[in-house]
């Protein structure tokens, strides 16, 4: 259990509400995933049901931008660890995508289906306002476009909104993943053809669904799973997809495994049952441990590093912050570079006999140091 030893209340916003914001950086520093984070904030409002963590990893390249995840973590420590791992990933994602942004991420500990109330979101909006621009946020798991709009009406620094913003980032993330899968196929098979290729998609949420639409349009054979049986049924009908149990998807007989749910799906345990030669999906932190990429490589699996292939949504929301204004053509041009960068990573990894995520991290660090 992580203890907040010296909660330093930043401010309790006007309005007489019960929100308090604490700097928990020193406590978070004891966690293995800390990795030199600049700042970690915790916002609590018991009355309105808010426990939120905002992790700011690195702002060398620009202000910290990252989504807000709403998820019922089993403990506070698990939530802080999730925020730290995701926020670090954002630093690398922005760096590899060539964006002038740093890495940050927020986690709200709540069940998005039953506990995401207007009161909770209002308390979170007050927290974002109180952080005075240290963190710019957008959608992630558990947060919808409507939620982003709701927050934007109450707080600055919310991107990916429908009112005056660039809208839902998920289709752009899915487009990047789609292009990335084709790049991986081309690298592996010499052809990017999807027709007849079996792709196992884990998670039929905003990104997973949009990815299925794109794959299905090019006649890929879809194998799908989700914890939500309704989504699976819908995918069966819409795409003629084959359903598979959630705990069997890693072992699905497919050429490509596309994790589009939560992180940690590839671990020492699950790796053994993996049948696909390519792992390429949208989920953040797909590997339980960084070292698992080496195990994948040794098994001959081509892994598209998650923060490289899933940068499309970030590229789209970041375009809102451009001094030149949002330019859809510039977004598509930058998105088109995702497969190019992946191609470079695959080639370098093969030539140097190193895991692809080591090469991706090297590219990110080169840019940050420069
Ligand atoms: P979402 O909340 O819309 O969808 C997630 C889906 O995964 C849900 O349908 C959920 O039921 C399902 N799910 C959760 N655990 C599962 C399990 N064990 N097995 C099967 N299904 C499971 O989220 P999203 O926006 O589609 O994001 C999906 C992933 O992609 C997340 O890891 C997210 O961080 C990452 N990502 C999203 C974006 C974006 O633009 N939305 C950008 C970059 C990365």
Dist CA 124 CA 130 (whole Å):
10
Dist CA 287 CA 292 (whole Å):
6
> What pLDDT shows up at residue 163?
83
- Compute mean pLDDT per 10 residues along the chain, 370 residues long, and list them: 46 66 95 96 96 97 97 96 96 96 98 97 96 93 95 95 91 98 97 98 97 98 98 98 98 98 94 96 95 95 98 96 92 97 98 97 94
Q: What value does the CA radius of gyration of the chain take, rounded to a whole number of Å?
A: 20
CATH topology of domain 20-91+100-167: Rossmann fold (3.40.50)
User: Of these residues, 11, 93, 105, 337, which one is catalytic?
Assistant: 105
Is 105 catalytic? The answer is yes
The reply to whether 20-91+100-167 and 171-311+339-369 are identical in fold is yes
With the most atoms of ligand 1 within 8 angstroms of its CB, the residue from 260, 264, 280, 308 to mutate is 260
> What pLDDT shows up at residue 12?
54
> What pLDDT shows up at residue 164?
84
Q: Are 364 and 95 spatial neighbours (Cβ–Cβ below 8 Å)?
A: yes
pTM of the model: 0.92
- Name which CATH class applies to 171-311+339-369: alpha beta
**β-pairing verdict for 198-202 and 135-139:** unpaired
CA of 302 to the centre of ligand 1 (A): 22
With the most atoms of ligand 1 within 8 angstroms of its CB, the residue from 171, 203, 248 to mutate is 203
What is the residue extent of each domain of the chain?
Answer: 20-91+100-167, 171-311+339-369
- Among 237, 171, 177, 168, which Cα is nearest to 210's? 171
- Where residue 167 falls (left for φ over 0; alpha for ψ -120 to 50; beta otherwise) is left
In a 13 Å sphere around the CA of 15, the CA atoms on its Cβ side amount to 12
> What pLDDT shows up at residue 338?
98
Give, rounded to a whole angstrom, the gap between the first and last alpha carbons of the chain.
Answer: 38
The SS3 assignment for 158 reads strand
């Amino acid at each position: 259990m992580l203890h907040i030893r010296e909660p330093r209340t930043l401010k309790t916003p006007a309005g007489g509400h019960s929100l308090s914001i604490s700097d928990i950086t020193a406590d978070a520093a004891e966690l293995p995933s800390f990795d030199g984070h600049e700042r970690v904030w915790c916002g609590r409002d018991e009355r309105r049901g808010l426990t939120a963590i905002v992790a700011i990893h690195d702002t060398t390249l620009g202000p910290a931008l990252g989504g807000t995840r709403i998820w019922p973590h089993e403990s506070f420590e698990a939530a802080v660890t999730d925020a730290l791992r995701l926020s670090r990933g954002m630093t690398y994602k922005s760096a590899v995508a060539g964006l002038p942004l740093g890495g940050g991420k927020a986690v709200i500990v709540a069940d998005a289906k039953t506990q995401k109330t207007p009161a909770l979101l209002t308390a979170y909006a007050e927290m974002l306002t109180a952080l005075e621009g240290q963190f710019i946020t957008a959608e992630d798991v558990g947060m919808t476009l409507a939620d982003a709009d709701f927050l934007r009406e109450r707080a600055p620094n919310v991107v990916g909104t429908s009112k005056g913003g660039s809208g839902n980032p998920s289709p752009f993330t899915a487009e990047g993943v789609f292009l990335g899968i084709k790049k991986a196929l081309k690298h592996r098979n010499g052809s990017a053809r999807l027709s007849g290729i079996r792709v196992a998609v884990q998670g039929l949420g905003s990104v997973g669904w949009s990815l299925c639409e794109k794959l299905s349009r090019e006649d890929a054979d879809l194998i799908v799973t989700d914890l939500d049986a309704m989504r699976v049924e819908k995918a069966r009908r819409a795409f003629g997809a084959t359903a598979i149990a959630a705990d069997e998807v890693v072992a699905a007989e497919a050429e490509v495994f596309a994790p589009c749910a939560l992180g940690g799906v590839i671990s020492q345990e699950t790796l053994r049952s993996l049948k696909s030669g390519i792992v390429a999906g949208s989920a953040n932190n797909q590997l339980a441990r960084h070292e698992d990429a080496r195990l994948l490589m040794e098994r001959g699996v081509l892994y598209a590093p998650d923060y490289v292939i899933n940068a499309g949504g970030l590229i789209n929301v970041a375009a809102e912050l451009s001094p030149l204004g949002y330019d859809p053509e510039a977004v598509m041009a930058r998105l088109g570079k995702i497969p190019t960068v992946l191609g470079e990573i695959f080639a370098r990894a093969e030539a140097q006999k190193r895991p692809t995520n080591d090469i991706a991290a090297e590219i990110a660090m080169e840019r940050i140091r420069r």
